[in-house]
A and B are shown apart, each in its own frame.
Chain A
Protein backbone atom coordinates (compact mmCIF):
# COMPACT_ATOMS: atom_id res chain seq x y z
CA UNK A 1 0.00 0.00 0.00
CA UNK A 2 1.32 3.39 -0.90
CA UNK A 3 0.02 6.84 -1.84
CA UNK A 4 -0.80 7.07 -5.52
CA UNK A 5 0.34 10.65 -5.91
CA UNK A 6 3.76 11.90 -4.92
CA UNK A 7 2.17 15.18 -3.86
CA UNK A 8 -0.27 16.02 -1.10
CA UNK A 9 -2.33 18.86 -2.55
CA UNK A 10 -5.70 18.27 -0.93
CA UNK A 11 -8.08 15.71 0.51
CA UNK A 12 -10.76 16.17 -2.14
CA UNK A 13 -10.85 12.93 -4.08
CA UNK A 14 -8.29 11.14 -1.91
CA UNK A 15 -9.45 7.54 -1.41
CA UNK A 16 -10.34 6.35 2.07
CA UNK A 17 -7.52 3.76 2.16
CA UNK A 18 -4.92 6.46 1.57
CA UNK A 19 -6.32 8.64 4.34
CA UNK A 20 -6.25 5.63 6.65
CA UNK A 21 -2.68 4.79 5.61
CA UNK A 22 -1.57 8.30 6.58
CA UNK A 23 -3.42 8.13 9.91
CA UNK A 24 -2.04 4.65 10.71
CA UNK A 25 1.49 5.74 9.85
CA UNK A 26 1.10 8.86 12.00
CA UNK A 27 -0.06 6.72 14.93
CA UNK A 28 3.03 4.51 14.53
CA UNK A 29 5.33 7.54 14.39
CA UNK A 30 3.83 9.42 17.34
CA UNK A 31 5.62 7.41 20.09
CA UNK A 32 8.95 8.63 18.66
CA UNK A 33 8.10 12.08 20.01
CA UNK A 34 8.07 10.63 23.55
CA UNK A 35 11.47 8.92 23.34
CA UNK A 36 14.60 10.10 25.16
CA UNK A 37 16.06 10.89 21.74
CA UNK A 38 13.02 11.86 19.66
CA UNK A 39 14.65 11.43 16.28
CA UNK A 40 14.98 8.68 13.67
CA UNK A 41 17.42 8.64 10.72
CA UNK A 42 14.87 7.72 8.06
CA UNK A 43 15.02 10.81 5.83
CA UNK A 44 18.75 11.39 6.11
CA UNK A 45 19.99 12.97 2.92
CA UNK A 46 16.58 14.32 1.88
CA UNK A 47 16.27 18.07 1.50
CA UNK A 48 12.99 19.80 2.21
CA UNK A 49 12.18 23.45 1.52
CA UNK A 50 9.44 25.19 3.49
CA UNK A 51 8.03 28.12 1.54
CA UNK A 52 5.72 30.25 3.64
CA UNK A 53 4.22 33.05 1.60
CA UNK A 54 1.72 33.75 4.37
CA UNK A 55 2.42 34.20 8.06
CA UNK A 56 2.24 31.02 10.10
CA UNK A 57 3.73 29.95 13.39
CA UNK A 58 2.13 26.70 14.29
CA UNK A 59 2.08 25.04 10.88
CA UNK A 60 5.62 26.10 10.03
CA UNK A 61 7.03 24.97 13.38
CA UNK A 62 5.11 21.74 13.08
CA UNK A 63 6.49 20.98 9.62
CA UNK A 64 10.02 21.97 10.62
CA UNK A 65 9.84 19.80 13.72
CA UNK A 66 8.50 16.85 11.72
CA UNK A 67 11.38 17.24 9.25
CA UNK A 68 13.97 17.37 12.04
CA UNK A 69 12.46 14.35 13.82
CA UNK A 70 12.94 12.36 10.61
CA UNK A 71 16.50 13.72 10.10
CA UNK A 72 15.78 15.51 6.83
CA UNK A 73 17.73 18.67 6.04
CA UNK A 74 15.37 21.58 5.80
CA UNK A 75 15.48 25.18 4.76
CA UNK A 76 12.67 27.61 5.40
CA UNK A 77 11.82 30.96 4.06
CA UNK A 78 9.03 33.30 4.80
CA UNK A 79 7.88 36.09 2.57
CA UNK A 80 9.48 38.91 4.49
CA UNK A 81 13.19 39.13 3.84
CA UNK A 82 13.26 36.70 0.95
CA UNK A 83 13.62 37.30 -2.76
CA UNK A 84 9.81 37.23 -2.99
CA UNK A 85 9.66 40.68 -1.46
CA UNK A 86 12.04 41.74 -4.21
CA UNK A 87 9.47 40.74 -6.81
CA UNK A 88 10.55 37.26 -7.83
CA UNK A 89 7.77 35.24 -9.45
CA UNK A 90 6.72 31.87 -8.09
CA UNK A 91 8.00 30.19 -11.21
CA UNK A 92 11.46 31.70 -10.84
CA UNK A 93 11.55 30.62 -7.21
CA UNK A 94 10.71 27.12 -8.44
CA UNK A 95 13.51 27.16 -11.00
CA UNK A 96 15.93 28.06 -8.24
CA UNK A 97 14.66 25.29 -6.01
CA UNK A 98 15.07 22.91 -8.88
CA UNK A 99 18.65 24.02 -9.36
CA UNK A 100 19.28 23.44 -5.65
CA UNK A 101 18.08 19.82 -5.89
CA UNK A 102 15.27 20.01 -3.36
CA UNK A 103 13.40 16.71 -2.78
CA UNK A 104 10.23 18.02 -1.18
CA UNK A 105 8.59 21.44 -1.10
CA UNK A 106 6.14 22.42 1.63
CA UNK A 107 4.22 25.50 0.55
CA UNK A 108 1.74 27.87 2.10
CA UNK A 109 0.44 30.51 -0.27
CA UNK A 110 -2.33 33.08 -0.30
CA UNK A 111 -3.43 32.05 -3.79
CA UNK A 112 -5.62 28.96 -4.07
CA UNK A 113 -3.93 26.51 -6.42
CA UNK A 114 -0.34 27.68 -5.91
CA UNK A 115 0.81 24.20 -4.75
CA UNK A 116 -0.85 22.66 -7.81
CA UNK A 117 1.09 25.08 -10.01
CA UNK A 118 4.35 24.02 -8.31
CA UNK A 119 3.50 20.34 -8.62
CA UNK A 120 3.03 20.82 -12.33
CA UNK A 121 6.47 22.27 -12.98
CA UNK A 122 8.73 20.69 -10.36
CA UNK A 123 10.27 17.23 -9.98
CA UNK A 124 10.04 17.47 -6.21
CA UNK A 125 7.10 16.29 -4.11
CA UNK A 126 4.81 19.15 -3.11
CA UNK A 127 2.94 19.32 0.20
CA UNK A 128 0.16 21.87 0.53
CA UNK A 129 0.44 23.67 3.88
CA UNK A 130 -2.60 25.84 3.12
CA UNK A 131 -3.45 27.54 -0.16
CA UNK A 132 -5.73 30.57 -0.13
CA UNK A 133 -9.27 29.56 0.72
CA UNK A 134 -8.88 26.16 -0.91
CA UNK A 135 -7.38 23.35 1.23
CA UNK A 136 -5.16 22.69 4.22
CA UNK A 137 -4.90 18.89 4.10
CA UNK A 138 -2.45 18.26 6.97
CA UNK A 139 -4.67 20.26 9.35
CA UNK A 140 -7.68 18.10 8.48
CA UNK A 141 -5.57 14.95 8.82
CA UNK A 142 -4.42 15.96 12.29
CA UNK A 143 -8.02 16.71 13.25
CA UNK A 144 -8.98 13.25 12.04
CA UNK A 145 -6.06 11.65 13.87
CA UNK A 146 -7.12 13.40 17.09
CA UNK A 147 -10.72 12.25 16.69
CA UNK A 148 -9.64 8.68 16.03
CA UNK A 149 -7.41 8.76 19.07
CA UNK A 150 -10.01 10.30 21.39
CA UNK A 151 -13.20 8.70 20.13
CA UNK A 152 -11.91 5.43 18.65
CA UNK A 153 -13.12 5.93 15.11
CA UNK A 154 -14.30 8.50 12.61
CA UNK A 155 -16.96 6.40 10.95
CA UNK A 156 -20.42 7.44 12.13
CA UNK A 157 -19.33 10.62 13.96
CA UNK A 158 -21.45 13.72 13.57
CA UNK A 159 -19.14 16.66 13.10
CA UNK A 160 -20.21 20.30 13.01
CA UNK A 161 -17.84 22.88 11.56
CA UNK A 162 -18.65 26.26 13.11
CA UNK A 163 -17.69 29.71 11.89
CA UNK A 164 -16.28 31.30 8.78
CA UNK A 165 -16.66 28.45 6.29
CA UNK A 166 -16.29 30.73 3.27
CA UNK A 167 -12.68 31.64 3.91
CA UNK A 168 -11.66 28.41 5.60
CA UNK A 169 -9.33 25.98 3.89
CA UNK A 170 -9.44 23.95 7.11
CA UNK A 171 -13.19 23.53 6.66
CA UNK A 172 -12.87 22.49 3.03
CA UNK A 173 -10.22 19.84 3.75
CA UNK A 174 -12.19 18.55 6.71
CA UNK A 175 -15.44 18.35 4.74
CA UNK A 176 -13.79 16.12 2.15
CA UNK A 177 -11.61 14.10 4.52
CA UNK A 178 -14.21 13.47 7.19
CA UNK A 179 -16.98 12.53 4.79
CA UNK A 180 -14.65 10.17 2.90
CA UNK A 181 -13.77 8.54 6.23
CA UNK A 182 -17.46 7.98 6.98
CA UNK A 183 -18.40 10.87 9.27
CA UNK A 184 -21.39 13.09 8.58
CA UNK A 185 -20.48 16.73 8.40
CA UNK A 186 -22.65 19.77 9.12
CA UNK A 187 -21.84 23.44 8.74
CA UNK A 188 -22.88 26.28 10.99
CA UNK A 189 -22.10 29.97 10.59
CA UNK A 190 -23.38 33.36 9.42
CA UNK A 191 -25.13 33.09 6.05
CA UNK A 192 -22.65 35.60 4.62
CA UNK A 193 -19.80 33.25 5.49
CA UNK A 194 -21.23 30.17 3.78
CA UNK A 195 -19.54 29.35 0.48
CA UNK A 196 -21.53 29.53 -2.75
CA UNK A 197 -22.44 26.04 -3.91
CA UNK A 198 -22.61 24.69 -0.38
CA UNK A 199 -25.42 22.41 -1.55
CA UNK A 200 -23.00 20.59 -3.83
CA UNK A 201 -20.78 19.62 -0.87
CA UNK A 202 -21.46 16.38 1.04
CA UNK A 203 -22.77 18.32 4.08
CA UNK A 204 -25.89 19.52 5.85
CA UNK A 205 -26.28 23.13 6.92
CA UNK A 206 -27.51 23.91 10.42
CA UNK A 207 -29.84 26.87 10.85
CA UNK A 208 -28.22 27.96 14.09
CA UNK A 209 -25.71 26.85 16.72
CA UNK A 210 -28.35 25.43 19.01
CA UNK A 211 -29.49 23.05 16.31
CA UNK A 212 -25.86 22.02 15.75
CA UNK A 213 -25.31 21.50 19.49
CA UNK A 214 -28.43 19.37 19.57
CA UNK A 215 -27.28 17.17 16.70
CA UNK A 216 -23.48 16.86 16.59
CA UNK A 217 -20.90 15.28 18.93
CA UNK A 218 -17.81 16.96 17.56
CA UNK A 219 -17.26 20.68 16.94
CA UNK A 220 -14.50 22.04 14.81
CA UNK A 221 -14.58 25.69 15.78
CA UNK A 222 -12.94 27.92 13.20
CA UNK A 223 -10.98 31.05 13.82
CA UNK A 224 -12.61 34.29 12.77
CA UNK A 225 -10.00 35.42 10.30
CA UNK A 226 -9.84 39.13 11.08
CA UNK A 227 -7.51 39.69 8.12
CA UNK A 228 -10.18 38.46 5.72
CA UNK A 229 -13.15 40.36 7.21
CA UNK A 230 -12.56 43.78 5.74
CA UNK A 231 -15.73 43.58 3.69
CA UNK A 232 -17.96 43.52 6.77
CA UNK A 233 -19.31 39.99 6.53
CA UNK A 234 -20.95 40.24 9.95
CA UNK A 235 -21.97 43.25 12.04
CA UNK A 236 -19.74 42.95 15.09
CA UNK A 237 -17.58 40.51 17.04
CA UNK A 238 -19.98 40.84 19.95
CA UNK A 239 -22.88 39.75 17.80
CA UNK A 240 -20.79 36.93 16.36
CA UNK A 241 -19.96 35.72 19.85
CA UNK A 242 -23.58 35.77 20.97
CA UNK A 243 -24.78 33.84 17.90
CA UNK A 244 -21.88 31.48 17.08
CA UNK A 245 -19.48 31.61 20.03
CA UNK A 246 -18.90 28.44 22.06
CA UNK A 247 -19.69 30.03 25.39
CA UNK A 248 -19.89 28.53 28.84
CA UNK A 249 -23.60 29.41 29.03
CA UNK A 250 -24.24 27.42 25.84
CA UNK A 251 -22.28 24.34 26.82
CA UNK A 252 -23.22 24.12 30.51
CA UNK A 253 -26.77 22.79 30.01
CA UNK A 254 -25.63 20.13 27.49
CA UNK A 255 -26.28 16.63 28.76
CA UNK A 256 -24.00 14.79 26.31
CA UNK A 257 -20.23 14.60 25.95
CA UNK A 258 -18.88 16.73 23.12
CA UNK A 259 -15.39 17.22 21.70
CA UNK A 260 -14.11 20.61 20.64
CA UNK A 261 -11.32 21.18 18.14
CA UNK A 262 -9.81 24.45 16.95
CA UNK A 263 -7.08 24.89 14.34
CA UNK A 264 -5.56 27.86 16.21
CA UNK A 265 -4.67 30.56 16.84
CA UNK A 266 -7.72 31.12 19.06
CA UNK A 267 -9.51 34.43 19.34
CA UNK A 268 -10.36 33.99 22.99
CA UNK A 269 -13.72 35.46 23.90
CA UNK A 270 -14.90 35.46 20.29
CA UNK A 271 -15.34 31.97 18.89
CA UNK A 272 -14.25 30.21 22.10
CA UNK A 273 -14.51 31.26 25.74
CA UNK A 274 -11.42 30.77 27.88
CA UNK A 275 -13.20 28.18 30.02
CA UNK A 276 -14.14 26.21 26.92
CA UNK A 277 -10.76 26.44 25.20
CA UNK A 278 -9.01 25.17 28.33
CA UNK A 279 -11.86 22.95 29.52
CA UNK A 280 -12.51 19.24 29.50
CA UNK A 281 -14.17 19.18 26.07
CA UNK A 282 -11.16 20.71 24.36
CA UNK A 283 -8.54 18.57 22.58
CA UNK A 284 -6.73 21.56 21.13
CA UNK A 285 -3.29 20.71 22.52
CA UNK A 286 -3.59 17.09 21.41
CA UNK A 287 -4.18 18.48 17.93
CA UNK A 288 -0.87 20.31 18.11
CA UNK A 289 1.08 17.18 19.12
CA UNK A 290 -0.68 15.09 16.49
CA UNK A 291 0.15 17.73 13.90
CA UNK A 292 3.83 16.82 14.13
CA UNK A 293 3.05 13.10 13.83
CA UNK A 294 0.76 13.58 10.83
CA UNK A 295 3.32 15.72 9.02
CA UNK A 296 6.01 13.13 9.74
CA UNK A 297 3.73 10.49 8.23
CA UNK A 298 3.07 12.55 5.10
CA UNK A 299 6.76 13.30 4.57
CA UNK A 300 7.66 9.67 5.20
CA UNK A 301 5.09 8.33 2.75
CA UNK A 302 5.91 10.87 0.05
CA UNK A 303 9.66 10.38 0.38
CA UNK A 304 9.65 6.69 -0.44
CA UNK A 305 8.91 5.50 -3.91
CA UNK A 306 11.92 6.96 -5.66
CA UNK A 307 14.06 3.82 -5.72
CA UNK A 308 13.80 0.74 -7.86
CA UNK A 309 14.07 -2.09 -5.37
CA UNK A 310 10.85 -3.96 -4.76
CA UNK A 311 9.90 -4.66 -1.17
CA UNK A 312 11.55 -7.74 0.22
CA UNK A 313 11.26 -9.39 3.56
CA UNK A 314 13.79 -7.44 5.56
CA UNK A 315 13.78 -10.13 8.21
CA UNK A 316 16.03 -12.06 5.86
CA UNK A 317 18.25 -9.22 4.83
Chain B
Protein backbone atom coordinates (compact mmCIF):
# COMPACT_ATOMS: atom_id res chain seq x y z
CA UNK B 1 0.00 0.00 0.00
CA UNK B 2 2.72 2.40 0.98
CA UNK B 3 4.69 1.61 -2.17
CA UNK B 4 1.66 2.20 -4.30
CA UNK B 5 1.11 5.63 -2.76
CA UNK B 6 4.68 6.71 -3.21
CA UNK B 7 4.55 5.66 -6.84
CA UNK B 8 1.52 7.86 -7.42
CA UNK B 9 3.25 10.84 -5.88
CA UNK B 10 6.29 10.26 -8.08
CA UNK B 11 4.10 10.21 -11.21
CA UNK B 12 2.38 13.42 -10.19
CA UNK B 13 5.73 15.00 -9.64
CA UNK B 14 6.96 13.96 -13.07
CA UNK B 15 3.90 15.44 -14.76
CA UNK B 16 3.78 18.82 -13.06
CA UNK B 17 6.02 21.65 -14.08
CA UNK B 18 6.36 22.92 -10.54
CA UNK B 19 6.48 20.65 -7.58
CA UNK B 20 3.89 21.91 -5.15
CA UNK B 21 4.66 21.01 -1.56
CA UNK B 22 1.81 19.33 0.26
CA UNK B 23 -0.25 22.06 1.88
CA UNK B 24 -1.51 21.61 5.41
CA UNK B 25 -4.01 23.56 7.45
CA UNK B 26 -2.09 26.14 9.50
CA UNK B 27 -4.93 27.86 11.30
CA UNK B 28 -8.65 28.47 11.21
CA UNK B 29 -9.51 32.07 10.41
CA UNK B 30 -13.29 31.90 10.69
CA UNK B 31 -15.96 29.39 11.54
CA UNK B 32 -19.51 29.25 10.25
CA UNK B 33 -20.85 31.70 12.85
CA UNK B 34 -17.97 34.07 12.14
CA UNK B 35 -18.86 34.10 8.43
CA UNK B 36 -22.52 34.75 9.23
CA UNK B 37 -21.74 37.68 11.54
CA UNK B 38 -19.24 39.17 9.11
CA UNK B 39 -21.67 39.01 6.19
CA UNK B 40 -24.31 40.65 8.36
CA UNK B 41 -21.89 43.53 9.08
CA UNK B 42 -20.84 43.82 5.43
CA UNK B 43 -24.52 44.03 4.44
CA UNK B 44 -25.09 46.91 6.86
CA UNK B 45 -21.94 48.68 5.69
CA UNK B 46 -22.98 48.40 2.04
CA UNK B 47 -26.45 49.79 2.82
CA UNK B 48 -25.01 52.54 5.01
CA UNK B 49 -22.49 53.70 2.42
CA UNK B 50 -25.11 53.73 -0.34
CA UNK B 51 -27.92 55.14 1.79
CA UNK B 52 -30.17 52.13 1.20
CA UNK B 53 -30.34 49.82 -1.77
CA UNK B 54 -31.71 52.19 -4.40
CA UNK B 55 -29.81 51.65 -7.67
CA UNK B 56 -27.65 48.84 -6.24
CA UNK B 57 -26.74 45.72 -8.26
CA UNK B 58 -24.93 42.88 -6.52
CA UNK B 59 -22.54 40.87 -8.73
CA UNK B 60 -20.78 37.78 -7.37
CA UNK B 61 -17.58 36.46 -8.90
CA UNK B 62 -17.53 32.70 -9.48
CA UNK B 63 -16.83 30.47 -7.67
CA UNK B 64 -17.92 31.36 -4.12
CA UNK B 65 -18.26 35.11 -4.63
CA UNK B 66 -21.65 34.31 -6.16
CA UNK B 67 -22.65 32.29 -3.09
CA UNK B 68 -21.55 35.10 -0.75
CA UNK B 69 -23.44 37.64 -2.85
CA UNK B 70 -26.60 35.55 -2.53
CA UNK B 71 -26.22 35.46 1.25
CA UNK B 72 -25.72 39.23 1.38
CA UNK B 73 -28.79 39.60 -0.83
CA UNK B 74 -30.81 37.54 1.61
CA UNK B 75 -29.61 39.65 4.52
CA UNK B 76 -30.48 42.81 2.60
CA UNK B 77 -34.01 41.64 1.90
CA UNK B 78 -34.67 41.33 5.64
CA UNK B 79 -33.57 44.94 6.18
CA UNK B 80 -34.88 46.72 3.08
CA UNK B 81 -38.22 46.21 1.37
CA UNK B 82 -36.88 46.67 -2.16
CA UNK B 83 -35.45 43.75 -4.21
CA UNK B 84 -31.83 44.15 -5.25
CA UNK B 85 -30.89 42.73 -8.67
CA UNK B 86 -28.20 40.06 -8.62
CA UNK B 87 -25.77 38.77 -11.25
CA UNK B 88 -22.94 36.25 -11.59
CA UNK B 89 -19.65 36.89 -13.32
CA UNK B 90 -17.21 34.27 -14.60
CA UNK B 91 -13.91 35.95 -15.37
CA UNK B 92 -12.19 33.06 -17.22
CA UNK B 93 -12.27 34.82 -20.60
CA UNK B 94 -10.73 37.97 -19.09
CA UNK B 95 -7.77 36.35 -17.31
CA UNK B 96 -4.42 37.98 -17.97
CA UNK B 97 -2.55 34.67 -17.79
CA UNK B 98 -4.43 32.77 -20.52
CA UNK B 99 -1.37 32.68 -22.76
CA UNK B 100 0.70 31.19 -19.93
CA UNK B 101 -1.65 28.41 -18.87
CA UNK B 102 -1.04 24.79 -19.79
CA UNK B 103 -4.73 24.21 -20.39
CA UNK B 104 -7.80 26.10 -21.57
CA UNK B 105 -9.85 26.51 -18.39
CA UNK B 106 -13.50 25.47 -18.31
CA UNK B 107 -15.74 28.49 -18.81
CA UNK B 108 -18.47 29.02 -16.23
CA UNK B 109 -21.78 30.78 -16.65
CA UNK B 110 -22.00 34.57 -16.61
CA UNK B 111 -25.44 36.01 -16.02
CA UNK B 112 -26.05 39.73 -15.62
CA UNK B 113 -29.86 39.89 -15.77
CA UNK B 114 -30.29 43.68 -15.85
CA UNK B 115 -28.75 46.72 -17.48
CA UNK B 116 -25.97 47.93 -15.18
CA UNK B 117 -25.58 51.30 -16.88
CA UNK B 118 -25.88 54.12 -14.29
CA UNK B 119 -26.29 51.58 -11.49
CA UNK B 120 -24.06 51.19 -8.43
CA UNK B 121 -22.47 47.76 -8.82
CA UNK B 122 -21.10 45.97 -5.77
CA UNK B 123 -18.68 43.19 -6.75
CA UNK B 124 -18.50 40.38 -4.23
CA UNK B 125 -15.62 37.91 -3.94
CA UNK B 126 -14.34 35.55 -1.27
CA UNK B 127 -10.62 36.41 -1.10
CA UNK B 128 -8.78 39.52 -2.28
CA UNK B 129 -5.15 38.64 -3.05
CA UNK B 130 -3.18 39.92 -6.07
CA UNK B 131 -6.11 41.96 -7.38
CA UNK B 132 -5.91 40.34 -10.81
CA UNK B 133 -9.30 38.65 -10.53
CA UNK B 134 -10.88 42.00 -9.69
CA UNK B 135 -9.14 43.67 -12.65
CA UNK B 136 -10.59 40.95 -14.88
CA UNK B 137 -14.02 41.30 -13.28
CA UNK B 138 -14.05 45.07 -13.85
CA UNK B 139 -13.13 44.61 -17.51
CA UNK B 140 -15.89 42.02 -17.89
CA UNK B 141 -18.38 44.34 -16.18
CA UNK B 142 -17.61 47.22 -18.53
CA UNK B 143 -18.62 45.03 -21.48
CA UNK B 144 -22.14 44.91 -20.04
CA UNK B 145 -22.60 48.63 -19.56
CA UNK B 146 -21.30 51.73 -17.82
CA UNK B 147 -22.05 51.58 -14.11
CA UNK B 148 -22.10 54.87 -12.19
CA UNK B 149 -19.76 53.27 -9.67
CA UNK B 150 -18.18 49.91 -8.87
CA UNK B 151 -17.53 48.93 -5.26
CA UNK B 152 -15.82 45.83 -3.96
CA UNK B 153 -16.82 43.65 -1.01
CA UNK B 154 -14.63 40.72 0.08
CA UNK B 155 -14.81 38.29 2.95
CA UNK B 156 -11.01 38.10 3.38
CA UNK B 157 -8.26 40.53 2.37
CA UNK B 158 -4.99 38.64 2.55
CA UNK B 159 -2.64 41.32 1.18
CA UNK B 160 0.09 40.92 -1.49
CA UNK B 161 -1.59 43.13 -4.09
CA UNK B 162 0.06 43.26 -7.54
CA UNK B 163 -2.29 45.95 -8.89
CA UNK B 164 -3.57 49.24 -7.44
CA UNK B 165 -6.88 47.77 -6.26
CA UNK B 166 -8.52 48.00 -2.85
CA UNK B 167 -11.72 46.74 -1.31
CA UNK B 168 -14.46 49.06 -0.05
CA UNK B 169 -15.92 46.50 2.33
CA UNK B 170 -13.65 43.95 4.04
CA UNK B 171 -14.78 41.11 6.28
CA UNK B 172 -11.40 40.46 7.81
CA UNK B 173 -7.81 41.40 6.98
CA UNK B 174 -5.40 38.50 7.41
CA UNK B 175 -1.63 38.70 7.22
CA UNK B 176 -0.25 35.81 5.18
CA UNK B 177 2.88 34.60 3.45
CA UNK B 178 2.64 34.89 -0.30
CA UNK B 179 3.07 31.13 -0.59
CA UNK B 180 0.15 30.47 1.78
CA UNK B 181 -3.34 29.74 0.60
CA UNK B 182 -6.56 31.06 2.05
CA UNK B 183 -9.47 28.72 1.53
CA UNK B 184 -13.04 29.87 1.95
CA UNK B 185 -15.34 26.88 2.31
CA UNK B 186 -19.06 27.36 1.96
CA UNK B 187 -21.97 25.04 2.67
CA UNK B 188 -23.31 25.38 -0.90
CA UNK B 189 -20.03 24.51 -2.66
CA UNK B 190 -17.92 22.63 -0.10
CA UNK B 191 -20.42 21.18 2.38
CA UNK B 192 -19.28 23.30 5.36
CA UNK B 193 -18.75 26.93 6.34
CA UNK B 194 -15.28 28.08 7.38
CA UNK B 195 -12.13 29.92 6.36
CA UNK B 196 -8.72 28.29 6.80
CA UNK B 197 -5.13 29.34 6.22
CA UNK B 198 -3.13 26.62 4.51
CA UNK B 199 0.61 26.50 3.94
CA UNK B 200 3.61 24.21 3.87
Interface residues of A (CB under 8 A from B): 1-2, 24-25, 28-29, 31-32, 35-37, 39-43, 45, 300-301, 303-311, 314-317
Chain B nearest CB from A147 CB (Å) reads 21
Asked if residues A305 and B133 are in contact (CB atoms below 8 Å), the reply is: no
Closest to B142 in A: A37
Asked if residues B130 and A317 are in contact (CB atoms below 8 Å), the reply is: yes
Q: Within 8 Å CB of A314, what residues of B?
A: 91-92, 95, 105, 133
Q: Within 8 Å CB of B143, what residues of A?
A: 35-37, 39-40
Q: Within 8 Å CB of B108, what residues of A?
A: 28
Asked if residues B18 and A1 are in contact (CB atoms below 8 Å), the reply is: no
Q: Within 8 Å CB of B63, what residues of A?
A: 315
Q: Is B85 an interface residue (CB 8 A)?
A: no
Asked if residues B127 and A315 are in contact (CB atoms below 8 Å), the reply is: yes
- Report B81-102 CB contacts with A as 1/0, cut-off 8 Å: 0000000001111110111111
Asked if residues B102 and A310 are in contact (CB atoms below 8 Å), the reply is: yes
A25–B93 Cα gap in the complex (Å)?
11
A36-B93 contact given A45-B99, A316-B129, CB 8 Å threshold:
no
Asked if residues A307 and B104 are in contact (CB atoms below 8 Å), the reply is: no
Q: Within 8 Å CB of A305, what residues of B?
A: 101-104
Known contacts A24-B106, A40-B94, A305-B102, then 18 further A-B pairs from the complex at CB < 8 Å, ordered by chain A residue:
A1-B106, A28-B109, A29-B107, A37-B142, A37-B144, A41-B139, A42-B93, A303-B104, A304-B101, A304-B103, A307-B100, A310-B18, A310-B103, A314-B95, A315-B63, A315-B64, A315-B65, A315-B133
6 pairs, A vs B, C-beta closer than 8 Å: A28-B107, A43-B98, A314-B91, A315-B63, A315-B125, A317-B132
Asked if residues B102 and A308 are in contact (CB atoms below 8 Å), the reply is: yes
Q: Within 8 Å CB of A36, what residues of B?
A: 143-145
Asked if residues A307 and B99 are in contact (CB atoms below 8 Å), the reply is: yes
A314–B89 Cα gap in the complex (Å)?
13
Within 8 A of A (CB), among B132-163: 132-133, 139-140, 142-145
A307–B129 Cα gap in the complex (Å)?
23
Asked if residues A31 and B110 are in contact (CB atoms below 8 Å), the reply is: yes
A294–B145 Cα gap in the complex (Å)?
26
- Please provide the 6 A-B residue pairs with the shortest distance between their CB atoms, ordered closest to farther: A304-B104, A307-B100, A28-B107, A40-B93, A37-B143, A42-B93
- Report B106-117 CB contacts with A as 1/0, cut-off 8 Å: 111111000000
A304–B98 Cα gap in the complex (Å)?
7
Q: Is B57 an interface residue (CB 8 A)?
A: no
Chain B nearest CB from A47 CB (Å) reads 12
Q: Within 8 Å CB of A24, what residues of B?
A: 106
Asked if residues B94 and A310 are in contact (CB atoms below 8 Å), the reply is: no
Q: Within 8 Å CB of B129, what residues of A?
A: 316-317
A315–B130 Cα gap in the complex (Å)?
10
Asked if residues A306 and B132 are in contact (CB atoms below 8 Å), the reply is: no
A307–B95 Cα gap in the complex (Å)?
14
Say which residue of B17, B65, B109, B139 sits within 8 Å of A308 (CB atoms): B17
- Report B21-42 CB contacts with A as 1/0, cut-off 8 Å: 0000000000000000000000
A259–B82 Cα gap in the complex (Å)?
45
A314–B136 Cα gap in the complex (Å)?
11
Q: Within 8 Å CB of B5, what residues of A?
A: none
Within 8 A of A (CB), among B21-77: 61, 63-65
Closest to B110 in A: A31
Q: Is B194 an interface residue (CB 8 A)?
A: no
Closest to A313 in B: B181
Q: Within 8 Å CB of B17, what residues of A?
A: 308-310
Chain A nearest CB from B94 CB (Å) reads 6
Q: Is B16 an interface residue (CB 8 A)?
A: yes
Chain A nearest CB from B61 CB (Å) reads 8
Chain A nearest CB from B199 CB (Å) reads 12
Q: Within 8 Å CB of B127, what residues of A?
A: 315-316
Q: Within 8 Å CB of A311, what residues of B?
A: 101-103, 105
A315-B126 contact given A308-B17, A310-B17, A310-B18, CB 8 Å threshold:
yes
